[in-house]
Each structure stands twice: as C-alpha cells, then as structure tokens.
Copies of this chain bind each other. A is one copy, B any other.
C-alpha cells in the first residue's frame, strides 16, 4: 500500500544545527573548493542573530592557521554542499583585519572588520 517514493527516510538535510555542533562546518569558495572551517559562531545575545563566524582558512597557503572574524553576511548555506559558500578570495583575506579570535570584543576592531568587508554592523541602528 505504501508508496515507495518516500524521500524523508533518507538522512534529512535539516535546516537547524545545535550551537554545540557548529565547530567543523566546512566553508567552500565560489568553485565549491573546500577552503576553510568554522570554529564557532558569534551570536548577538538580545536578538539571537549570528553576526560573525570565527573561521580558519586552511586552503590558502601561509595564512591557514589564523582565525578570522568573518561577518555572517559573507557566508551562504548551501544545502547541496552541507556547508557554507563564500565569495571571499585569498587576496581579500590576506589584507583583512584579524588574526585574533577575540577581535569581536573590541568595538573599534569590529568596525575595521565591517569597513573592510563592506558589511553594515549589527550595532548602531
């Protein structure tokens, strides 16, 4: 009786993730090359919005080990990849403010991040 076209019995692509499990989420470039990994997300406590991803870029030689503070708007979840896609290039990254995963605690340095990536900040509106 049951139809055999039940798509929900395979491993579901669930739209949600636990905050405790975001570490290790892969990040891909515009050509679907794996270029980095999310360490953790930075969440605005009042609104419950993610505002930054702290991530390492392992694929770009020489700057792989540094943690970078990337505005959330630079990442776009791709369900087919199971990770985030970004248009960030190696050239952009090499000039980016960062290298300190606690940068987001300093408003002046946060502003440098927003200026560099041309993303309006979450504060001030």
Chain A residues in the interface with B (C-beta under 8 A): 12, 14-20, 22-23, 40-46, 48-52, 54, 72, 76-77, 104-105, 123
Number of copies: 2
The docked-state distance in angstroms from the alpha carbon of A78 to that of B54 is 25
CB distance from A55 to the nearest CB of B (A): 12
Determine which of B20, B44, B48, B54 lies in contact with A23 in the assembled complex, contact meaning CB atoms within 8 Å.
Answer: B20
**A77 with B20: CB separation less than 8 A:** no
**B49 with A16: CB separation less than 8 A:** no
The docked-state distance in angstroms from the alpha carbon of A102 to that of B46 is 24
The docked-state distance in angstroms from the alpha carbon of A22 to that of B40 is 11
CB distance from A60 to the nearest CB of B (A): 24
**A105 with B43: CB separation less than 8 A:** no
Closest residue to A16 on the B side, CB-wise?
B42
**B46 with A18: CB separation less than 8 A:** no
